[in-house]
Amino acid sequence: MSQIRNLKIIILIIGILLVLVIIRNSDRNVFKEKARTAVEATRNNSNLITLNQLKKLTSPYLIIDIGSEKRADSLQFQHAVKIAFSQLLDKANRKVLDEASGELILYADDIATTSRAWVILNQLGYKNLRILTIENSPEELKYKFQPDTTARLEQDTM
Amino acid sequence: MDARIKYSLLLVGIGIILAFLPFSATDSFRLKSDELLSKSTSAENSLSVDQVARMVNKEDSTMLLIDLREAGQFKECNIPGSINIPFSDLLNPWWEGTFNQKNIKKIFYGNGDQTANCAWSIVTGLGYQNNFVMKGGLNEWFKTVMLSQFRGEKITPLENALYEARFNARKAFTQINSLPDSLKKQYFKAKEIKQLKLDGGCQ
Amino acid sequence: MGPISIISEFPEWLNLLIAFFIGIGFGFALEQAGFSSSRRLAGMFYGYDTTVIKVFFTAAIVALAGSQLLSFFGLLNLKLVFVNPYYVNSAILGGIIMGAGFIMGGYCPGTSISALSIGKIDAMIFLLGGMVGAFLFMETYPFIQTIAMENYKGNMRIDEWLGVSSGVFTLLLIIAAVAMFWIAELAEKKFNRPDITSDI
């Protein structure tokens, strides 16, 4: 008994530390993934999915629409869940994302928005996240640079 | 009980807690997800191609353009004044000095929007400040700065300034990217020396 | 206070002022632990007084555990903490020279300054010798540069090299430290020199 009384302070300190660690770990707003996973997941464009690939997809998926206005050229999906980007991390929306089975496919008119949402959700631990793109390769340069090779006097060049 | 044994027990107890920590905070984002989300939704960190063109013309020293494409594409053509950090190399500790400059605006661009915004989110999430994205990437740069022309009868002063900025940026882009490889190497070497100086410590 | 993120908006003079007070605290702790006595410091080598290893190892593991905990709670950015570049040859040669000087003189550079502050003359001479050594190093640097700069391993950390997480490494180091303290106690009993220890 006297031994336990001696250890009281030690047990108290370690107990407080344990509680703080558990509180920090259960905070849903803290990013727990390593940043490397985001960089590695974009290798070979494996986090992108085009419309054609989507049509051929056999596994279950859920489309999350995070910002498409009703314009003529924007797509509307029948069974998509509409979530505004600024409300992506609200409790109710997090529940929807947690309970989804299969692939989570993000779509917005602007691929900038989807990319940012993709990084946030990837680092929060969601796997099977994909960005839906309309074009087949959004990161391809569509122009060819023509260098200017005319000979000119020395003082005219850089 | 001996004080030494008490302290040893306390330290071993803390060590055991540390050994079983659920995640490593050094490798993950420093911002919380709601903070990152509010930064992501703000439109302030997205610069248009014309704004970047104006900064390139001014040779603005408070900005740093970061090209996220592979080295081969960078060599073919790039916006004058940019450095090349391929996206796969983004988390290399070598670049931490570059990102850690609070007073320099870091502007990320790729060919399109996707890589630039992913890199922006990662670098901002890691706690570095003053990061921007060039909206549309190089595709937009080519479309607007390099190839656009004024069509119309009368031009307003505002439009005149806009097209003049575009023309100057176009000239700079063409001239620097048309340099023979040997001169380009010198230009990049100068930038590399500047980069080495950022690697601090008691070397 | 650079790495602590919450208060990283401190102006430069405040950072330096805090560093000044931390320095005062460090000197106070050294003097209070008895490190101004060269006989206590040399006792580490001969075995009759093992205070040095206990104090410094405790400081190391408290700092290690503390910084890991602060980093976990987001208060400290460990990426900003400088890791020394590791040159194998320089580390070994410099360690041998420094160790020999430590035993012969009975001080290391930091403790010599704390002994100087209480007026010890041998600490003054030791410090003078240290400065002569530094001057000689600078003058002969071009000759030893190749040996000194060989075998560069970069900014290595042990836990990266071992492949364990930093938390596990902290636990291993704490257990190693406690084992060392226990061995030190045994050594003190074995190499007891009451004629010196009663005088320190």
Confidence band for A143, pLDDT divided at 50, 70 and 90: confident
The pLDDT of residue C129 is above 50: yes
A119: part of which helix (H) or strand (E)?
helix A111-123
Average pLDDT over residues B9-38: 89
Q: Which amino acid is at C104?
A: M
Helices (H), chain B: 3-19, 33-41, 49-58, 71-76, 96-99, 114-125, 137-141, 157-177, 181-198
The pLDDT of residue C8: 61
Cβ A157 vs Cβ B172: under 8 Å: no
Confidence band for C95, pLDDT divided at 50, 70 and 90: very high
Query: Between B145 and A4, where is the model more confident?
Result: B145
ipTM over 0.90: no
- Kindly determine whether residue B113 and residue A112, on different chains, have CB atoms separated by under 8 Å: yes
Q: What is the Cα–Cα distance from A23 to A10, expressed in whole angstroms?
A: 20
Task: Give the pLDDT confidence of B115-162 residue by residue, as tens digits.
Answer: 999 999 999 999 898 999 999 899 998 888 888 777 777 888 888 888
Average pLDDT over residues C144-155: 82
- Rounded alpha-carbon distances, angstroms, from residue B138 to B48, B54, B80: 11, 15, 12
Residue B143 with chain A: CB contacts under 8 Å: 143
The two three-digit tokens of residue C96, written as one number: 């041998």
The pLDDT of residue A16: 93
Average pLDDT over residues A30-45: 87
Q: What is the Cα–Cα distance from A10 to B14, expressed in whole angstroms?
A: 10
Nearest to A127 by CA among A107, A109, A100: A100
Least confident of A37-46, A63-72, C66-75: A63-72
The pLDDT of residue A114 is above 60: yes
Q: Secondary structure of A85-106 in the HEC alphabet?
A: HHHCCCHHHHHHHHHCCCEEEE
Q: What is the Cα–Cα distance from C55 to C52, expressed in whole angstroms?
A: 5
Query: Between A137 and C20, where is the model more confident?
Result: C20
Q: Is the four-CA dihedral C16, C17, C18, C19 of positive or negative sign?
A: positive
Nearest CA in chain C to A27: C73
The pLDDT of residue C96 is above 90: yes
Residue B122 with chain C: CB contacts under 8 Å: none
Q: Is the four-CA dihedral C150, C153, C158, C164 of positive or negative sign?
A: negative
Nearest CA in chain A to B36: A120
Helices (H), chain C: 12-32, 38-46, 51-72, 88-105, 109-116, 121-148, 158-162, 166-190, 194-197
The pLDDT of residue A158 is above 60: no
Q: Does domain B33-197 have CATH number 2.30.42.10?
A: no
Instruction: State the nearest Cα–Cα gap between B31 and chain C, in angstroms.
Output: 9
Three-class SS state of C186? helix
Task: Give the pLDDT confidence of C34-62 residue by residue, as tens digits.
Answer: 888 888 888 888 888 888 899 989 999 99
The pLDDT of residue B203: 40
B139: burial class by Cβ within 10 Å (0-12, 13-18, 19+)? Answer: buried
Residue C170 with chain B: CB contacts under 8 Å: 15, 18-19
Nearest CA in chain A to B8: A10
Task: Give the pLDDT confidence of B104-116 residue by residue, as tens digits.
Answer: 999 999 998 899 9
Q: What is the Cα–Cα distance from B92 to B107, expressed in whole angstroms?
A: 18
Out of A89, A110, A147, whose CB is closest to B34? Answer: A89
Average pLDDT over residues B80-102: 88
Average pLDDT over residues B33-53: 90
The average confidence (pLDDT) of chain A is: 82
- Kindly determine whether residue A17 and residue C69, on different chains, have CB atoms separated by under 8 Å: yes
Residue B177 with chain A: CB contacts under 8 Å: 145, 147
The average confidence (pLDDT) of chain C is: 87
Q: What is the Cα–Cα distance from B73 to B76, expressed in whole angstroms?
A: 5
The pLDDT of residue A149 is above 80: no
Cβ B87 vs Cβ B68: under 8 Å: yes
Q: What is the Cα–Cα distance from A4 to C52, expressed in whole angstroms?
A: 31
Nearest CA in chain B to A31: B29
The pLDDT of residue C125 is above 90: yes
Interface with B, mutate which of A111, A140, A143 (most B CBs under 10 A): A143
CB pairs under 8 A between A and B: 160
The pLDDT of residue B200: 52
Q: Which amino acid is at B64?
A: L
Nearest to C172 by CA among C159, C160, C181, C183: C159
Nearest to A131 by CA among B84, B112, B69, B141: B112
> Is A157 part of the contact surface with chain B (CB cutoff 8 Å)?
yes
Name the residue ranges covered by the structural domains of chain C: 12-197
Residue A150 with chain B: CB contacts under 8 Å: none
> Is C59 part of the contact surface with chain B (CB cutoff 8 Å)?
no
The pLDDT of residue C183: 92
Query: Between B14 and A137, where is the model more confident?
Result: B14
Contacts of C168 (CB under 8 A, 6+ apart): B19, C159
Average pLDDT over residues C14-33: 89
Confidence band for B202, pLDDT divided at 50, 70 and 90: very low
The pLDDT of residue A157 is above 70: no
Cβ A35 vs Cβ B125: under 8 Å: yes
The pLDDT of residue A91: 87
The pLDDT of residue C174 is above 90: yes
Strand partners, B107: B65, B132
